[in-house]
Structure 1
């Protein structure tokens, strides 16, 4: 990590301490270390834009940390198109009780992720270079998440084959989530998914709250 750049990392806001406290553990120092990685090597390697640095906490770290509210205790989580680690790496920092797999096809990004995971000592976090389809038929997870990867219709095709019978897709979305759900109606029926739920997470921690869409199976007993 480049120390002269990391010194430009914005300080953690007061809300961060609560967002990165799990089971009585103070995880904020790890989140701060990750923020320094993003502001340093993350910018230098082109994983995030330099203009994102001043708003790292509000727009990225806290925005992703509140996703923990939608993840069951002890869950296995797959983050598709993890990029710089948003939201999967943030979730691994906030929730040491979950097992997180970061899936990313680009080598420069997986190299960055592996370096950060090693530096932070996140033994419950794995990095896989590849695409979602590479895992189809091989693994399933309690939660499959993503952020700004694709519209819901495509995301369902990539994500649902990885969702365990009693699990769910939990994708971070923006203001167009209702339109995306409507556009994905045929795919939802074809895959035999339950009606999607739109959740607002982190009220009082992030403004605006984080919007996610949660999609489970209509009949878990029919999942192959």
Structure 2
């Protein structure tokens, strides 16, 4: 077997062609599949997906991104912080077509990619915005903020809470140390109007590790709208 052929085998995703994927994603399936195919073709070349990630693209990235959807509003504005390759923002936009999804990303090459993806997939509900969360404070508000693999919860509170309307939610994809992060960030969160944080389990399809989501509602802060 040649080296190139070995690489192909190593990149094989066991969930490719799985008949459970289409029903799971429902009406969003054609767009999610097209996004998957764009990541496979261009993700590594453009520095968006590491070579070891292709064998788990569905489980670790696309299904993981979809796991936040049940905790998000179906309408209004959702901001995806540090959107990067578009995870979870592009998947969220495909699954929640009535919501406006702002893909906020500071790197130009990534915003170029996100613009290409949203146009190729016909995601009319996507707004690609170049910048950092801190730069948008006082300029942009949302009903929910999503974030995946960007920073610890104390930093996320500082970035996300000022973007949320009272009653809006921060929905963060987190791993096994979620409770530790919540405890470490509780004082920062309180100062910024964060309510009690909940760790929620978000299953997708059988046999795929259950995603853990931290959800925090922004409470009203005296003197702050």
Instruction: Please report the TM-score for the alignment, with normalisation by the length of structure 2.
Output: 0.89
Question: Are the aligned partners of 1:19 and 1:66 in contact in 2 as well (CA < 8 Å)?
Answer: no
Task: Give how far 1:219 is off.
Answer: 3.6
Task: Give how far 1:73 is off.
Answer: 2.0
Change (3 A) 1:206 1:109: farther
Distance 1:168 1:85 in 2: 20
Distance 1:210 1:192 in 2: 26
Aligned to 1:17: 22
Task: Give how far 1:208 is off.
Answer: 1.6
Distance 1:96 1:12 in 2: 25
> Is residue 89 of structure 1 aligned with residue 93 of structure 2?
no
Task: Give how far 1:194 is off.
Answer: 1.1
**Which segments of 5 or more consecutive residues in structure 1 lack a partner in the other structure?**
none
Task: Spell out the pairing of 1:134-173 with structure 2 (5 A cutoff).
Answer: 134-173=135-174
**Which segments of 5 or more consecutive residues in structure 2 lack a partner in the other structure?**
1-7
Distance 1:191 1:79 in 2: 19
Aligned length: 214
Aligned to 2:53: 52
Instruction: Please report the TM-score for the alignment, with normalisation by the length of structure 1.
Output: 0.89
Q: Computing the radius of gyration over CA atoms, which structure comes out larger, 1 or 2? A: 2
Aligned to 1:38: 39
1:167 match: secondary structure: strand
Change (3 A) 1:183 1:45: same
1:170 match: secondary structure: strand
1:43 match: secondary structure: coil
Q: Tell me the C-alpha RMSD between the 2 structures.
A: 1.9
